[in-house]
């Protein structure tokens, strides 16, 4: 029944041209840095991340481009796997990007021109220390959902309930796209200087 409901909702969106609405403003400098994934949709967690734990992403600035460098890192069966790529902003609309990632060890050499949207920033949290405290991201089909945060504990205390309520009202309620918690406990990370950090 849930799958049928999702198919119906997706069909209506396709027929009416309804699209996820990106944020009106996005300060790229406040968006850069490390994010920890606290929730992901089924399509994210099991189709692309293979049920991984301890998921994070690092976004960085490029000196000669408006594109953003990115490193996605997951822990699968105790082993950390990372992929690299670029997020190229839409020239026409804030909060929309064309993200390209290579397989491990085969990252794209340079960002390509924007071609199509596959990464839409729907919500941004308040700034803490000059950085957005959380971000909610999807794609044009609403199939994927990422809830990214700067501090897992702070997000849980201050924002989690409200954000989950908002994404539910946005339509992230189906088997495929509803938020599913990503484990961020007992995780071992490496910072940019190579120092191990355990959360």
If you average pLDDT over every residue of the chain, what do you get?
A: 86
Query: pLDDT tens digits for 94-119?
Result: 999 999 998 777 888 899 999 999 99
pLDDT of residue 49: 67
Task: Return the pLDDT at 171.
Answer: 95
Percent of the chain residues topping a pLDDT of 90: 67
Using the predicted structure, report yes or no on whether residue 139 has a pLDDT greater than 60: yes
- Region 23-50 average pLDDT: 91
What is the per-residue pLDDT for 9?
Answer: 42
Q: What is the pLDDT of residue 156?
A: 97
Looking at residue 16, what is its pLDDT? Answer: 37
Instruction: DSSP for the chain, please give it.
Output: -HHHHHHHHHHHHHHHT--PPPPS---HHHH-EEEEEEEE-HHHHTTTSTT-EEEEEEEEE-TT-S-EEEEEEEEETTEEEEEEEEEEEPSSSTTEEEEEEPPTT---SSPPPP----EEEEEE--EETTEESEEEEE-TTS--EEEEES-HHHHHHHTHHHHHHHHHHTT--STTTS-EEPP-SS-EEE-TTS-EEE-
More confident residue, 69 or 10: 69
pLDDT at position 19: 63
Q: Which domains does the chain have, with CATH numbers?
A: 2-184 (2.40.128.20)
Q: 77-94, pLDDT tens digit by residue?
A: 778 888 999 999 999 999
**pLDDT score at 122:** 98
Output the pLDDT for position 192. Answer: 54
pLDDT of residue 14: 40
Q: What is the pLDDT of residues 59-74, one digit of tens each?
A: 999 998 999 999 999 8
pLDDT digits (tens, 9 = 90+) for 166-190: 999 999 999 999 999 999 998 888 7
Q: Which residue has the higher pLDDT, 3 or 35?
A: 35
């Amino acid at each position: 029944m849930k799958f049928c409901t999702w198919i119906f909702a997706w069909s209506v969106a396709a027929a009416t041209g309804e699209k996820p609405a990106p944020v009106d403003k996005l300060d790229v400098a406040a968006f850069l840095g490390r994010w920890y994934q606290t929730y992901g949709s089924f399509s994210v967690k099991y189709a692309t991340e293979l049920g991984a734990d301890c998921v994070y992403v690092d976004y960085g600035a490029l000196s000669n481009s408006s594109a953003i460098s990115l490193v996605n890192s997951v822990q699968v069966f105790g082993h950390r796997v990372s992929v690299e790529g670029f997020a190229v902003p839409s020239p026409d609309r804030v909060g929309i990007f064309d993200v390209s990632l290579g397989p491990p060890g085969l990252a794209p050499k340079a960002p390509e021109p924007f071609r199509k949207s596959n990464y839409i920033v729907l919500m941004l949290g308040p700034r803490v220390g000059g950085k957005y405290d959380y971000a909610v991201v999807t794609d044009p089909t609403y199939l994927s959902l990422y809830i990214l945060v700067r501090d897992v504990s702070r997000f849980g205390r201050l924002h989690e309930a409200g954000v989950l309520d908002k994404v539910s009202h946005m339509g992230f309620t189906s088997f495929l796209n509803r938020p599913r918690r990503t484990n961020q406990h007992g995780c071992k990370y490496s910072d940019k200087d190579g120092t191990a950090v355990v959360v």
